[in-house]
């Protein structure tokens, strides 16, 4: 088994929030999760909730690490590279980008006590 960036205990997911055709999209690259919203804040909130549920489910059923380390869509990977290289003309519709930390407590604040 190869070494994975993400495990059930730790890792991170890169994300991008961008506008296309009047809608805002938030993408979690390593999980291939895409959420949409009417505002960038709504899209990122939906993405955070989806990522949280994904990680909690993965931990509950103890999945293999490959599910947490998917190959992202080429379009989003290219967008990520343009953001990293600060190509303004290629990223004009991007609201924000970054990484969510998948530490042990990731998402637990959204879960009922």
Alpha carbon of residue 60 to chain centroid: 20
Instruction: Of 11, 16, 5, give the one whose Cα is nearest residue 75.
Output: 16
pLDDT tens, position by position, 32-44? 999 999 999 999 9
Contact 47, 62 (CB under 8 A): no
Give the CA distances from residue 95 to residues 10, 38, 88, 92, 109, in Å, rounded to whole numbers and listed in that order.
26, 13, 12, 8, 25
Q: Give yes or no for residue 113 having a pLDDT over 70.
A: no
Q: How far apart are CA 64 and CA 77, in angstroms?
A: 23
Would you say the C-alpha torsion 59, 43, 29, 98 has a positive or negative sign?
A: negative
For 93, the token pair is 């519709």
At 92, the pLDDT band (50, 70, 90 cuts) reads confident
pTM of the model: 0.84
At 73, the pLDDT band (50, 70, 90 cuts) reads very high
Mean pLDDT of 44-62: 93
* Domains of the chain in sequence order: 12-100 (3.30.160)
Mean pLDDT of 11-31: 96
Mean pLDDT of 73-96: 90
Mean pLDDT of 48-65: 91
At 104, the pLDDT band (50, 70, 90 cuts) reads low
Q: How far apart are CA 74 and CA 101, in angstroms?
A: 22
């Amino acid at each position: 088994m190869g070494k994975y960036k993400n495990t059930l205990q730790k890792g991170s997911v890169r994300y991008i929030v961008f506008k296309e055709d009047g809608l805002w999209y938030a993408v979690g690259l390593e999980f291939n999760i895409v959420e949409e919203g009417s505002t960038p804040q709504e899209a990122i909130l939906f993405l955070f909730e989806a990522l949280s549920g994904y990680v909690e489910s993965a931990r509950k059923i103890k999945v293999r690490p490959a599910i947490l380390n998917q190959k992202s869509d080429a379009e989003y990977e290219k967008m990520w590279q343009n953001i990293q290289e600060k190509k303004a003309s290629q990223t004009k519709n991007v609201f924000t980008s970054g990484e969510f930390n998948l530490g042990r407590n990731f998402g637990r604040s959204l879960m009922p006590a």
